[in-house]
């Protein structure tokens, strides 16, 4: 079925449910959570980002060069630096993506004017001048306080090239360290996350899994731990539903890896139109929510394969590329993947992060694609202007979940609708409300998302297990909401705050009943901190 047919089918299935919801009083949903059940720590790295040499992600988005008239610190845009610091980005993956397997790191060190140029053949044939290289990336990570995650070139590189890159970055002494020092960096950097190839089944070399497993084993052998640095080695993993890739890699290389990646995009129509980022029907919207939630089934299946080989869950599943992928904005270079970002994207972000939380025992990192100006980005830039996207606001609202302990949630009475599934004749059940909670230092953070475009919902939460003060006298609640008049609203350089957060107070404590009732407007994300 092509995506047009799929979406027409969605119309039939959704119409009934939406009409019913609109006619009735808001359904009351019961949400139970007990902080004493909090267990798995949500790895902060689930809030990771991805920056590729693609379109204006690096050049223009992060890096403008020290000579630029755009306010900058050593070449990095000040507005973007601040936005990223505020987001507490734990880890950032670079230089690709597909670009990584054509990147030769030696081209990006030394005096800028002597750096060779190359054609970025994956992404629009743009000429890359290599002015943003290893030093620029590692210094950037230091400036925003993020852990670097390097994606190494396996497809068109050599074992020696990757081994020497690790040495150049992390060794205190020796020939590579001497070269680094000559290029202005005395102290080695720390490098934890090392990806050995990217999408090695595709743009990273078109490998078959058996062959890649052996290549992986060979490459990682020569990537050494220098001077107390300890590498966390990541094998290039599957795309979406390719369970065989995970099985073969685990069988043949599990003892040589700390993590394996997974890429999953909320996208349709790889061979044609993916749909506009900003103009979409209700049916398109619900289809997108269903497609985004499919990542949960996929994670569960990869996890169960991994568990067959690694029952103690030592090896992490790293969703190191995810997010929405729409048609590029009209008039922009099709190879630069520049797209707008609406409340629909914000809801995809919230639902996806909720899924990652639920699987935090296996999902040790996730990197949304990408941090600036590409796909589902955090910021968009134009000349000296920068705007924060609705997705940025979700990541900012969710900060308290980073490193907090996950609390399982029991939701009762959530209305559902059926949406067509990409992979099966059986429709997918889409719950209208999604929630996640965590505890840190006695503070519970509860994030709630309502994906119904027409109906509000009231969420009733028994307070007794939640707060120790049985009379609810000292309970302190802070609320914040992200919503907008239309789900297709987005921020522009002329109207940068159309979609942004506001304080939220549509909740009531019923002391007699011992409950907290929260009313979620249609298409909204609400964050509550409770102590
Ligand atoms: O994020 C854009 C591209 O999507 C990446 O370069 C590649 O790894 C994936 O196919």
pLDDT (tens digit, 9 = 90+) per residue, 356-368? 999 999 999 999 9
Ligand 1 probe mutation, 201, 321, 377, most atoms within 8 A of CB: 321
265 C-alpha to ligand 1 centroid (Å): 9
Residues 378, 432 share a domain: no
Which pLDDT belongs to residue 25? Answer: 65
52 C-alpha to ligand 1 centroid (Å): 9
Residues 270, 196 share a domain: yes
Please choose, from the candidates 450, 452, 448, the residue with its C-alpha nearest in 3D space to the C-alpha of residue 435.
448
The answer to whether the CB of 98 is under 6 A from ligand 1 is yes
Residues 222, 302 share a domain: yes
The answer to whether the CB of 437 is under 6 A from ligand 1 is no
Which pLDDT belongs to residue 3? Answer: 38
92 C-alpha to ligand 1 centroid (Å): 15
CATH classification at residue 30: 2.60.40.1180
Which pLDDT belongs to residue 103? Answer: 98
Residue among 45, 102, 128, 321 flagged as catalytic = 321
Residues 398, 413 share a domain: no
363 C-alpha to ligand 1 centroid (Å): 20
Tell the residue nearest (CA) to atom 8 of ligand 1: 97
Residues 126, 232 share a domain: yes
Is the distance from CB of 523 to CB of 450 less than 8 angstroms? yes
Residue among 52, 199, 418, 439 flagged as catalytic = 199
Cβ count within 10 A of residue 12: 11
Is the distance from CB of 270 to CB of 327 less than 8 angstroms? no
- Domain end call among 377, 404, 431: 404
- Domain end call among 404, 432, 458: 404
Which pLDDT belongs to residue 20? Answer: 43
What is the number of structural domains in the chain? Answer: 2
Residues 240, 308 share a domain: yes
99 C-alpha to ligand 1 centroid (Å): 8
Domain that holds residue 78: 44-404
The answer to whether the CB of 199 is under 6 A from ligand 1 is yes
The verdict on whether 199 is a catalytic residue reads: yes
Residues 512, 386 share a domain: no
Residue 269: left if φ>0, alpha if ψ -120 to 50, beta else—which one? Answer: left
123 C-alpha to ligand 1 centroid (Å): 10
Residues 64, 28 share a domain: no
The answer to whether the CB of 155 is under 6 A from ligand 1 is no
Ligand 1 probe mutation, 95, 98, 120, most atoms within 8 A of CB: 98
Rounded Cα distance, 356 and 261, in Å: 14
Ligand 1 probe mutation, 50, 51, 52, most atoms within 8 A of CB: 52
Which pLDDT belongs to residue 271? Answer: 67
Cβ count within 10 A of residue 160: 9
Give, to the nearest 10 degrees, the angle between helix 175-182 and helix 159-170.
60
The answer to whether the CB of 339 is under 6 A from ligand 1 is no
Residues 12, 53 share a domain: no
The answer to whether the CB of 64 is under 6 A from ligand 1 is no
Residues of the chain below pLDDT 50? 1-23
Tell the residue nearest (CA) to atom 7 of ligand 1: 97
Instruction: Render 41-95 in DSSP notation, one character per residue.
Output: B--GGGGEEE--SSTTSSBTTTB--TT-SS-EETTEEHHHHHHHHHTT--EEEES
Residues 95, 24 share a domain: no
CATH classification at residue 239: 3.20.20.80
97 C-alpha to ligand 1 centroid (Å): 5
The pTM for the full model equals 0.95
Residues 296, 189 share a domain: yes
Tell the residue nearest (CA) to atom 2 of ligand 1: 97
């Amino acid at each position: 079925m092509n995506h047009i047919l799929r979406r027409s089918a969605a119309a039939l299935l959704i119409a009934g449910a939406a009409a019913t919801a609109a006619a009735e009083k808001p359904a009351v949903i019961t949400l139970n959570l007990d902080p004493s059940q909090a267990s798995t720590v949500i790895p902060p790295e689930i809030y990771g980002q991805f920056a590729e040499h693609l379109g204006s992600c690096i050049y223009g988005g992060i890096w403008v060069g020290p000579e630029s008239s755009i306010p900058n610190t050593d070449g990095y845009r000040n507005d973007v630096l601040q936005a990223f610091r505020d987001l507490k980005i734990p880890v950032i993956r670079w230089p690709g993506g597909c670009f990584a397997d054509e990147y030769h790191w030696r081209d990006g060190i030394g005096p800028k004017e002597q750096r060779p140029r190359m054609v970025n053949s994956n992404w629009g044939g743009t000429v890359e001048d290599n002015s943003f290289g290893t030093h620029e990336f590692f210094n950037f990570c230091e400036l925003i306080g993020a852990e670097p995650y390097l994606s190494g070139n396996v497809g068109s590189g050599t074992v020696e090239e990757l081994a020497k890159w690790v040495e150049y970055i992390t060794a205190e002494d020796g020939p590579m360290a001497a070269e680094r020092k000559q290029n202005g960096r005395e102290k080695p950097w720390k490098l934890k996350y090392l990806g050995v190839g990217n999408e090695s089944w595709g743009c990273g070399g078109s490998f078959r899994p058996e062959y890649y497993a052996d290549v992986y084993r060979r490459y990682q052998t020569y990537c050494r731990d220098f001077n107390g640095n300890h590498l966390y080695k990541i094998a290039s993993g599957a795309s979406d539903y390719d369970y065989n890739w995970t099985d073969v890699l685990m069988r043949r290389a599990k003892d040589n890896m700390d993590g394996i990646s997974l890429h999953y995009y909320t996208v349709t129509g790889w061979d044609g139109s993916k749909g506009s980022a900003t103009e979409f029907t209700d049916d398109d919207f619900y289809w997108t929510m269903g497609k985004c939630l499919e990542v949960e089934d996929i994670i569960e299946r990869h996890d169960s394969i991994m568990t067959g080989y690694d029952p103690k869950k030592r090896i992490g599943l790293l969703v190191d590329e995810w997010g929405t992928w729409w048609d590029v904005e009209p008039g922009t270079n099709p190879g630069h993947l520049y797209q707008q970002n609406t409340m629909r994207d914000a809801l995809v972000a919230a639902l996806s992060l909720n899924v990652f939380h639920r699987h935090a025992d296996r999902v040790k990192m996730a990197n949304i694609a990408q941090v600036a100006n590409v796909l589902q980005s955090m910021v968009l830039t134009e000349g000296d202007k920068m705007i924060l996207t609705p997705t940025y606001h979700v990541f900012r609202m969710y900060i308290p979940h980073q490193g907090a302990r996950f609390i399982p949630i029991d939701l009762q009475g959530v209305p559902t609708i059926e949406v067509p599934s990409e992979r099966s004749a059986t429709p997918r059940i889409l719950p209208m409300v999604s929630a996640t909670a965590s505890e840190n230092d006695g503070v519970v953070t509860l994030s709630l998302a309502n994906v119904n475009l027409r109906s509000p919902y009231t969420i009733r939460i028994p307070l007794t297990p939640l707060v120790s003060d049985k009379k609810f006298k000292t309970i302190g609640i802070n609320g914040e909401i992200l919503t907008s008049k239309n789900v297709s609203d987005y921020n522009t350089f002329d109207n940068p705050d159309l979609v942004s957060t506001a304080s939220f107070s549509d909740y009531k404590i019923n002391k007699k009943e011992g409950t907290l009732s929260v009313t979620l407007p249609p298409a909204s994300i609400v964050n509550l901190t409770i102590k």
